[in-house]
Amino acid sequence: MVFTVSAIGLVVLLAAALVYCIAPGKMSPDAKKTAKHFYGLNCAHRGLHTEDKKVPENSIAAVKAACSENYGIELDVQLSKDGKVIVFHDDDLRRICGINERVSSKNWEELSGMQLLGTNECIPLLADALDIIGDTPVVVELKPAGPNNSKLCEEVLKVMREHGRRWCIESFDPRICAWFRKNAPDVLRGQLSRPPRDMIGVSKITAMLLGYLLTNFISRPHFIAYSNDPNPLAVRLCKAMKPMNVIWTVLPGHDTEKCEKENDAVIFEFYKPTPRYK
């Protein structure tokens, strides 16, 4: 009997610990206002770029194309060596610009002339993209910057505040979301994640913590942006607590109707859905 009671107590304790770790955060009134612009919205992943690369990802052309179709927009941002917030996904310049060097090793003056995927489009500043975006809702993904996380967060917040548009932030790095939780609680924030097996460039332990949303206690995200994969049990439990749910990246051939039905917002690529589905 003692063993049974102890075993039950341990199970209850573990369940409580799990709930504590994965629970999402409560939106502030300002975050709720922002969220209204994203509910039922299809957002173009890295702008409305094309599979043939004629309109490159994270380019001004991709931003203009998304705006012309009334889609929301998702963009990736990071810092240049001299602290400018640029729109660019990869850590290095090889895939997009054909240069085998890290983005963080280059000043903005050097990056500004680098062509994207062999087109006439060049790496843009976030501020320049926002000038075009206007009131179009935009999801800003902050790429993990390690020791420069705080600097990245500060600079992104400064740029976004100056433009005063409809925007939210997301990141794979819970420390970035935690920074906004502490320093800008009014900003709608989201935790990006995917199954542990698909986590790249991190240890197995880190992959499990991130993939199962066990770091939510650090950042208490307002929304969960999970990849278009079967959700682990911990993720399903988190979603049962009713955060805003976002799915990425929905591609041609996926069950787009199901993705829209089961999520509050969709990040898509290489097809043209209706801008809003709710």
Under the banding of pLDDT at 50, 70 and 90, the label for residue 104 is very high
Both tokens of 66, joined, read 């998304």
All domains in the chain, ordered by first residue? 2-268 (3.20.20.190)
Query: What is each CA distance from 103 to 108, 170, 192, in whole angstroms?
Result: 10, 20, 22
Question: 0.85 exceeded by the pTM?
Answer: yes
Task: State residue 6's pLDDT score.
Answer: 85
Question: Helix, strand or coil for residue 156?
Answer: helix
For residue range 238-263, list pLDDT tens digits in order.
999 999 999 999 999 999 999 999 99
Can you tell me which residue has the tokens 């310049």?
Answer: 93
Task: State residue 34's pLDDT score.
Answer: 97
Maximum Cα interatomic distance, the chain, rounded to a whole number of Å = 75
Query: Which whole number is the average pLDDT over 93-103?
Result: 98
